[in-house]
A and B are shown apart, each in its own frame.
Chain A
Amino acid sequence: MTARAVARWQAAAPYAVGLVAALGVLAVLVAALGGDAPAAVGSLVRASLGSAAGFGQTLNKTAPLLFGSVAVILGLRAGAFNIGVDGQIYAGAVAATGVAFLAAGLPKLLAVPAVLVAGAAGGALLGAVPGLLRARAGVSEIFVTVMLNFIALFFVEYLSTGPWNDPMAGEAITRAVPPSTTLPLLGVRVGAHAGVLLALAAALAVWWLLYRTVFGYEVRAVGDNPTAARLGGIPVGRTVALALVASGALAGLAGAVEVSGFHYRLILGLSPGYGVMSILIAVLSRRHPLVAIVASLGFAALVVGTDSLQRSVGLPASAVFVVQAAVLLVLLASEGLRRAP
Chain B
Amino acid sequence: PSRPRLAMILPGVIQDADFNAVGYQALKEVQATTGVQTAHSEQVAVADAERVAREYLASGYGIVAFHGGQYLTIVQKLAPLFPDAVFIMESSGQIPNLPPNVWNIGRKFHEGFYVLGVLAALSTKTNRIGYVAGIRLPDFVASLNAVFQAVAKYNPRAEVLYTFVGDQNDPVKARQAAESQIAAGVDFIVISVNLGTVGILEAARAARRPVLLTTFYTDKSSYAPQHFAASLLSNFGKPYVEVTRQILAGKRGGYYEMRPGSGFGLTPPRNVPPEVARRVQQVWRAVVLRQERVDEITDRVVERR
Asked if A and B touch directly (CB within 8 angstroms), the answer is yes
How distant is the Cα of A165 from the Cα of B73 in the complex, in angstroms?
13
Given contacts A47-B55, A191-B54, A307-B52, contact A171 B45 (CB under 8 A): no
Select which of B7, B77, B93 is within 8 A of A168 by beta carbon. B93
A307 engages B95 (CB within 8 Å) = no
| Interface: A166 (CB within 8 A) | yes
B136 at the interface (CB under 8 A from A): yes
- What distance in Å separates the Cβ of B142 from its nearest Cβ neighbour in chain A? 9
- Assess whether A291 is interfacial by the CB under 8 Å rule: no
Please state if B137 and A170 are interface contacts (CB–CB under 8 Å): yes
Q: For A173, list chain B residues within 8 Å (CB).
A: 46, 69-70, 72-73
Residues B63-88 near A (CB distance < 8 A): 68-70, 72-73, 76-77, 81
B44 to chain A: closest residue by CB: A317
Given known A54-B55, A170-B138, A171-B69, contact A310–B42 (CB-CB < 8 A): yes
Among B41, B58, B90, point to the contact of A317 (Cβ < 8 A): B41
With contacts A170-B69, A170-B139, A172-B70 known, is A57 near B54, CB below 8 A? yes
Does A157 lie within 8 Å of B135, measured CB to CB? Answer: yes
Contacts of A167 in B (CB 8 A): 92, 138, 298-299
Q: Is the CB of A311 within 8 A of B59?
A: yes
| Cross-chain contact B58 with A51 (CB below 8 angstroms) | yes
Using known A-B contacts A189-B81, A310-B41, determine if residue A171 contacts B137 with beta carbons closer than 8 Å.
yes
Query: CB-CB < 8 A to B275: which residues of A?
Result: none
Main secondary structure of the interface of B (DSSP, over half): mixed
Q: Mark A51-86, 1 if CB is under 8 A from B, else 0.
A: 101100100110010000000000000000000000
A172 engages B135 (CB within 8 Å): yes
Chain B residue with the shortest CB-CB distance to A56: B54
A314, closest chain B residue (CB): B39
Give Cα A173–Cα B47 distance, bound, in whole angstroms. Answer: 12
| Pair A311/B52 contact, Cβ less than 8 Å | yes
A54: which B residues are within 8 A, CB to CB? Answer: 54-55, 58
Residues on A with beta carbons closer than 8 Å to the beta carbon of B128: none
Which residues of chain A are within 8 angstroms of B135 by Cβ–Cβ distance?
A: 157, 161, 172, 268
How far is B82's CA from A188's CA once the two chains are assembled, in angstroms? 11
Complex contact B139–A269 (CB within 8 A):
no
Known: A161-B138, A188-B81, A267-B46. A170 touches B91 (CB 8 A): yes
**B130 → A minimal CB distance (Å):** 20
Residues of B within 8 A of A265 (CB): 73
Q: Contact between B70 and A304 (Cβ–Cβ < 8 Å)?
A: no
Bound Cα distance from A84 to B68, whole angstroms: 28
A64 contact set on B, CB distance < 8 A: 47
A42 CB → nearest B CB, Å: 12
- Chain A positions 148 through 184: 1 when the CB is less than 8 Å from some CB of chain B, otherwise 0: 0000001001100110011111111100100000000
Query: How long is the Cα–Cα vector from A270 to B44 in the complex, in angstroms?
Result: 12
A154 and B166 within 8 A (CB): yes
Chain B proximity of A171: nearest CB distance (Å): 4
| Least Cβ–Cβ distance between B282 and chain A, in angstroms | 29
Cross-interface CB contact of B70 among A169, A316, A318, cutoff 8 Å: A169
The answer to whether the Cβ of B107 comes within 8 Å of any Cβ in the partner chain is: yes
Q: Which stretch from A110-118, A194-202, A256-264, A328-336 is at the chain B interface? A: A256-264
Chain A nearest CB from B300 CB (Å) reads 9
B11 to chain A, nearest CB (A): 8
Query: By the criterion CB–CB under 8 Å, are B68 and A171 in contact?
Result: yes
A308: CB under 8 A from chain B? Answer: yes
Q: Give Cα A244 to B93, complex, Å.
A: 44
Q: Chain A's nearest CB lies how many Å from the CB of B143? A: 11
Residue A272, interface by CB 8 Å:
yes
The reply to whether the CB of A324 lies closer than 8 angstroms to some CB of chain B is no
* Inter-chain contacts of B39 with A (CB < 8 A): 311, 314
Interface set, chain B 82-115, CB cutoff 8 A to A: 90-96, 107
Q: What residues of chain B lie closer than 8 Å to A60, measured between beta carbons? A: 50-51
Q: How far is the CA of A158 from the CA of B76 in the complex (A)?
A: 24
Neighbouring A residues of B13 by C-beta, 8 Å: 316-318
Chain A to chain B: the 3 pairs with minimum beta-carbon distance, closest first: A272-B45, A170-B92, A317-B43
